[in-house]
A and B are shown apart, each in its own frame.
Chain A
Amino acid sequence: MILRVDAESPVPPYEQIRGQVATMVAAGVLPVGTRLPTIRQLAADLGLAAGTAARAYRELEQTGLIASRGRRGTFVIHHRSSLPAPAVSGQLVRAARAFAMEATQLGASHGEALAAARRALDEVTTA
């Protein structure tokens, strides 16, 4: 699973990390028992300060979604409340609309836009 940080977003990076992990846990993409990367690894891969990743993990721990097990790592411990199907569907529609809008503005054909979407999905799910 891939986590992405938008440097130009007004949302602080730690909040972007926290939000994405929380969504993936709620959607069941990160099930209970999933080991997460260390703070140092995540920060280095994203090119962020370790404190930023640490703050995101701390807030996720405070909400009871993840727990640190010392040297063994950080784990997803709670499948708090799975996102209800309509909520997932609603978010998916919003994301698809945003993508469709941008693809249209770029002058991409339906085929090109769908191919790009498939490639992006492959990249995200195989990583």
Chain B
Amino acid sequence: MVGPVELVVALLALVPIGAVVVLAVKARAAQPEAFADAHGFSLTAANRPLVGSYLDRSWTWRITGALLGVVIPFGTRIPGLEMLGGYLVGALAAELTHARLRRSAQPAASLAPRSLTDYIAPGILRALRATAVLAVALVPMYHLLPRRASVTDHPQLLVASGLALITATLVEGALRVIVRRPQPAIAPDVVSADDAIRAASIHATAGAGLAIVVLLVATELWAFGFGTDVQLIRWVAPVLSISTTAGAFVIWSVLGHDRPWRVRRNNAGEVPA
């Protein structure tokens, strides 16, 4: 006899498979023209090969990573975690293996500084940090609440919070590395395409990273529901956990795929005291 919990877990396990299929179809449709439109630059003979190669490479690596995450069981028993982890690794691999801009015989550089918030909304970075802090804060909260007699401890709570903190730290570090990647000042159309490619890689990495951290929080909430003796939390926490799991996939779907973004570079301002 299949209980409601097993049924929910079985249904959640189908989510990553469906997500990969949707991603594969959606991302395959991305063409250089659409990418250029979404990122606010013009395609030229000089930047088209760069954009085309990036779109192909990023599709291949991200889908391969996500599929490997679905196929290879790492035994986390968190629906979708391996898939999201695979997608994140694939997004980073696509960025790392992407062809770098070549310097001209006379190296040139722009005097406009690059910062992470030129390429992604600061709110997403704040959300990543805040969710990781929440994941850590849930551990002492769990221990403060009265627990059911049958439940002694929940080691996965500690593992999930640690993993969330490590993921958030590594993801933010990776985003900063992408921004720091050298950008010699060559033709402006090539530099604009390179900026758009950076923004796409940053969104894919941040989207997958944030989704993983949110999913880990959902796992902790699930453990809350089973571990606590407080009746209200026993009912509310699993509902929150399922909604948060769904939220993780929405975040990944909205942020993690070539989200339109126009890079803002500005070095004018007041000198801080």
Contacts and interface: CB of A to CB of B under 8 A. Distances in A.
Interface of A: 1-7, 21, 24, 30-38, 40-42, 44-48, 67, 69, 72-73, 75-77, 122-123, 126-127
A1 B266 CA distance: 11
B46 to A, nearest CB: 12
A46 B271 contact: no
16 contacts: A2-B110, A4-B108, A5-B106, A5-B108, A7-B106, A31-B268, A33-B269, A33-B271, A34-B269, A36-B113, A37-B113, A41-B109, A44-B181, A69-B272, A75-B272, A122-B188
Contact of B188 (A3, A4, A48, A127): A127
By secondary structure, the B interface counts as: loop
B111 A126 contact: no
Interface string B106-140: 11111111100000000000000000000000000
Contact of A67 (B107, B181, B271): B271
B108 A3 contact: yes
A53 B243 CA distance: 50
A37 B270 contact: no
B107 A47 contact: yes
A47 B106 contact: no
Interface of B: 103, 105-114, 180-185, 187-188, 191, 267-272
Given A45-B182, A45-B183, A37 B112 contact: yes
Contact of A77 (B111, B185, B271): B271
Contact of A36 (B106, B107, B111, B270): B111
A37 B109 contact: yes
Contacts of B272: 69, 72, 75
9 interchain residue pairs of minimum CB distance: A45-B109, A44-B182, A37-B113, A35-B267, A4-B108, A1-B111, A75-B271, A46-B107, A46-B109
B109, B180, B183, B187 pick with most chain A CB within 10 angstroms: B109
